[in-house]
């Protein structure tokens, strides 16, 4: 879990992304062509989870990045919206703190939302014992 990391696929037209949190597969880092020089990941296969903390540009987190991370075949993408900033179509009405976990199934993210009081479920961490309240600032 590096402090800073850039995701930049080797294809020239791909967008570079800097997720708020990234969990890498340490065993696969040796296959990354740029990692030994700088914190740049080129292959989604090295990434286990990316997480974005929603801010005023919430549209990027709920739309654009969902597509881009799915194209990179990243198994899980977490959207942490502790201030309830996302649009109603993404977090419902009334707006409230929401964690959306996107799990990649056949190249498409299946989304599960969690609200305060809910216990979080992750296919990558089946023994996870965490409630959304544990992630939210006091």
How would you write the pLDDT of the chain (138 residues) with one tens digit per residue? Answer: 777 889 988 776 667 889 999 999 999 999 999 898 999 998 889 999 999 999 998 999 999 899 999 989 999 999 999 999 999 989 989 999 999 999 999 999 999 999 998 999 888 888 988 888 887 766
Q: Is 37 exposed, middle or buried (0-12, 13-18, 19+ CB in 10 A)?
A: exposed
> CA triplet 49, 51, 52: central angle to 5 degrees?
155
pLDDT of residue 12: 63
pLDDT of residue 133: 85
Residues 6+ apart with CB under 8 A from 24: 1, 2, 5, 41, 46, 47, 48
Query: What is the model's pTM?
Result: 0.90
């Amino acid at each position: 879990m590096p402090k800073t990391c850039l995701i930049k696929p080797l294809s020239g037209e791909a967008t570079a992304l800097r997720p708020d949190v990234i969990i890498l597969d340490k065993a696969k880092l040796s296959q990354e062509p740029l990692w030994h020089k700088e914190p740049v990941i080129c292959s989604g296969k090295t990434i286990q989870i990316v997480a974005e903390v929603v801010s005023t540009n919430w549209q990027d987190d709920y739309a654009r990045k969902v597509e881009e991370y799915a194209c990179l075949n990243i198994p899980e993408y977490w959207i942490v919206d502790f201030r309830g900033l996302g649009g109603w179509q993404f977090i419902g009405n009334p707006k409230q703190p929401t964690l959306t976990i996107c799990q990649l199934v056949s190249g498409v993210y299946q989304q599960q939302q969690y609200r305060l009081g809910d216990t979080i479920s992750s296919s990558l961490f089946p023994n996870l014992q965490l409630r959304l309240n544990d992630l939210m600032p006091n």
